[in-house]
Homo-oligomer: A and B are copies of this chain.
Amino acid sequence: MKRYTLEDVAKLAGVTSTTVSRVINNRGNISDKTRKKVYAAMESLNYRPNALARTLLGKQSFIVGLIFPTTNHPFYGEIIYYLEKILSEFGYKVMICNSMNDSKKEQDFVQMLLANQVDGLIVGTHNTDIEIYKKANLPIVSIDRILSENIPVVSSDNYQGGFLATEYLYDKGARHIVHINSLRADEAPYSYERRQGYIDFLTTKALSPSIFEVDYELSFDVKKNILIGILELNKAIDAMFIADDLTALLTRQVCQMLNRDVNIIGYDGSELIIKYYPDLATIQQPIEEMSSEAVKLLIREINQDFTSQGVKVKCPVQLLANR
């Protein structure tokens, strides 16, 4: 249970802790003999340097905080998977926080991560309280969300996505195309862009938009009831563009239940949905690419390269249908 220290290794190897440190970090000149002795000692004690003590010396912690609503979601789960994977390739460890879009929890998490000396943050939540991020004074990258002027954002091309989705439904013959999303005022410009793509396409066909806001965080059952209400009150609806795949699947269930023939397209295109719901049309975000862009931006910031300040990366989307 006791964890060995440099000192222990040094004693066993008959040298001083500085020498051991030098061996570990490959710094300075060390004779082959001592190097071997040290390695042997480390081996026999099963020694691991204390990463935390290193950090105390003013070095990087190589810890990155990930704040997302939940890992239990096809889109977030996949993006977290890629973020962890890519970060670990760069030597970074990951602390995960599931905020469940609870603003209070999120603030506590940020404080906790700060206390743990994280080198940076990647944030994919959708809260209103973003003051903490402005104050944090720390490398941050946001996914799909503007936190403040100079925090870089990685998102997919939401406008294009909205446009393509609507076009798809139109091409399927639909003329009463409804859009369901979870707009949160000025806080969600991306959701707004998606919506704008929808509106603009309809405009080219001289059709008028019809948008319903269904808060993303609502429970399954509440959402379901709202969707039932929408469909019951609007018998003309023949197609729906839903802002995320899960809600799209739910809508499909509802339509089936109500015996309504409605064309549906979702948004996200996570691997899970694509493989296990191949018949759901969707707009695919390039999740791996987005993750990789986010990591790149973050590491640049961590390395004091501030050219990424205010950068907005927009990754291309793809229509996936009739699979």
Q: What residues of chain A have their CB less than 8 Å away from a CB belonging to chain B? A: 1, 3, 46, 48-53, 55-56, 61, 63, 70-74, 77-78, 80-81, 84-85, 88, 93-98, 111-112, 114-117, 135, 137-138, 220, 246, 249-250, 253, 270-272, 275-278
Docked Cα-Cα span, A81 to B99, in Å, equals: 10
Which 3 pairs of residues, A with B, have the shortest CB-CB distance?
Answer: A72-B81, A77-B77, A51-B115
Q: A114 and B48: CB pair below 8 A?
A: yes
| Residues of chain B with a CB closer than 8 A to A78's CB | 71-72
Q: A250-B276, A253-B278 are in contact. List 9 more A-B contacts (CB 8 A).
A: A49-B115, A53-B56, A63-B95, A71-B71, A71-B77, A93-B95, A249-B276, A250-B275, A276-B277
Q: B51 and A271: CB pair below 8 A?
A: no
Residue of B nearest to A249 (CB): B276
| Residues of chain B with a CB closer than 8 A to A96's CB | 71, 80, 84, 94-96
30 intermolecular pairs with C-beta atoms under 8 Å apart: A46-B135, A48-B111, A48-B115, A49-B115, A50-B115, A52-B52, A52-B55, A52-B56, A53-B56, A63-B95, A70-B77, A71-B71, A71-B84, A72-B74, A72-B78, A72-B80, A72-B81, A72-B270, A72-B272, A73-B77, A73-B272, A74-B272, A84-B96, A85-B98, A246-B276, A249-B276, A250-B275, A250-B276, A253-B276, A276-B277
Smallest CB separation, A321 vs chain B (Å): 17
Residue of B nearest to A279 (CB): B253
Smallest CB separation, A286 vs chain B (Å): 15
| Residues of chain B with a CB closer than 8 A to A88's CB | 97
| Residues of chain B with a CB closer than 8 A to A49's CB | 115
Considering residues A77, A220, A272, which has the most beta carbons from chain B within 10 angstroms of its beta carbon?
A77
Residue of B nearest to A248 (CB): B276
Q: B97 and A84: CB pair below 8 A?
A: yes
Docked Cα-Cα span, A21 to B167, in Å, equals: 62
| Residues of chain B with a CB closer than 8 A to A115's CB | 48-51
Smallest CB separation, A246 vs chain B (Å): 7
Considering residues A72, A80, A135, A220, which has the most beta carbons from chain B within 10 angstroms of its beta carbon?
A72
Q: A1 and B137: CB pair below 8 A?
A: yes
Considering residues A48, A71, A88, which has the most beta carbons from chain B within 10 angstroms of its beta carbon?
A71
Q: B51 and A116: CB pair below 8 A?
A: yes
Residue of B nearest to A113 (CB): B93
Smallest CB separation, A84 vs chain B (Å): 5
